[in-house]
Structure 1
Amino acid sequence: MKQLQEVSTQTTSTKSPQIRMLVDMMERLWQNKLSVAGGIFMLILIIMAIFAGLLAPSDPAAQNYSAVLQGPSAAHWFGTDNLGRDILSRVIYGAQVSLKAGLISVGIALIIGLPIGLFSGYYRGLWDEFFIMRFTDAMLAFPPLVLALTLAAVLGAGLENAMIAIGLVFTPNYIRLMRGEVLARRESEYVEAAKSSGIKDWRIMLFHILPNSMGPILVMATLNIAGAIIAEASLSFLGLGTQPPTPSWGAMLAEGQGYLTEAPWLVFFPGLFIFLAVMSINLFGDGLRDMLDPKSK
């Protein structure tokens, strides 16, 4: 038994620093039970979105006028809407729209914001101080939802345009964050060593500065997915996002607002899933932030 313990100790001690760091990070995440719970519900949402065709009990667009505004029952767990459509099926398919909007919107913001912030922070100068950052400050001065509504109205109604509008609204956040990370690292020893070795600027930015800046960016991206879900639901509620008959949690809230007293389940279940999705992503984002923080013990 003592020999096995010695072997185990030797195996642990011979692990590379990267493996030990990864193990420590996972332990910090696992200790945060709320973040684990948030991650589990995020996984449930992803499964719902991927396997919606298998999980949904019926076609989300199928109308049944003999089952209009039926309450939750064994036949329809979440009830039916004013057209006899199954609410559970529409909620499941709505997860596809919400996750798609969240991921693509944040992806657009990352693709646009990171390169601008990277070059702006590395080269500085007049272009950085008086053009990029002043334009970023101007965009950040607007309330995000108001700016998203304006852009969506200009681009036109539809999920694709809504995702573009939300992505553009989030872009200044990544420009500012990436620029700040570059400014904090451009004078560091490993960057100076890379410069003295004759490595080109683009390689320094891409392979030295960017990888060491991904921690805060990943945390912000995770939290912004929750914000994008809320923004898409808001735009769909106002008729600028997902268009009928495609099921969307925000559009379902808009359709059910006239039946609050008669059939409250029309708004309760999509509203509940919006709340749970946003809360779970935020909880997981908090845990991810703690996991990536080397000072967190």
Structure 2
Amino acid sequence: MTAISLNFTREELQNILTHLDQALFNHIQWHKRIIRDLICRLPVNKGDIEQKAHQECLFGQWYTQDSPKKLQKHPGFVAIGEAHKQMHQVAARLLMSMNTKGGVESQDYDIFANVIERLQLEIASLKRELEFSLHTRDPLTEATNRIDMLPMLREIHALVKRSAQSCCLIMMDLDFFKKINDKYGHNAGDKVLIGLVHFVSKHLRSYDKLFRYGGEEFLLCMQHIDLQECYSRVDQLRKDISTLEIDIGRKTPATITASFGITLLDPHVSIEECIDRADKAMYAAKSAGRNNTKTWDPSMQA
């Protein structure tokens, strides 16, 4: 499963999951009431047959008013809205049929049951994706952790093999990071890592990936991009990082530079080999004086 592409923090993800669980509970309670009304042939609740019933129920109120705007862009969230609206439309037809005809047709009820199942599947799918994204985060920096890096990269590698897209891997390593820990302490070093990751994340496209590879080393995966454009983007990012000031709780903010190594995600070699190429290019950038960007070439293989 690929982590959700929107840039949520761990706190935002936890908050969304909490509210989604409450909204799902409200939906289940509504569903139980509708079934009871149909079986017991109770008087129709006017709110259930109104045109905007899907916006007025408690689940609909969360969906239309209280859900985060960033989540509203997600295809799974859009699919939930479509299924939820259709569910209310079908429920309204059932309730009106019971009210006017004294009962409902079996095929109409089957449609209602099917759309209920579709909605529940869409909600469960989104919830799993949110939980996956939450649990794959590095607890300090909120970059995706290394444990989940290879499965995600293998999915992208498969697309490259089918010529569905071009892709680049970029190794990023902070220059002289040990000096920050030695001078200011590890707490300050943690703040530098957190600040850097948040800064880089904001400068990536929504479908790019950022992994914490280890310590102060990070792996970026940029999709739908050729080597020339990738170099241009990464080198600009390098320049921007060199001007970044990070608050570490002292009078003077910390500054940092980074070295970058870039390689194409080659369909003819393994993911591990591609990562090794990016790593070699990064070390070439270090050897060139740091605060530098290098692209892998075969001469670096030795």
Q: TM-score, normalized by length of structure 1? A: 0.27
| Larger relative contact order (Cα-Cα within 8 Å, sequence gap ≥ 6) | 1
Q: Which has the higher helix share?
A: 1
- Structure number with greater Rg is 2
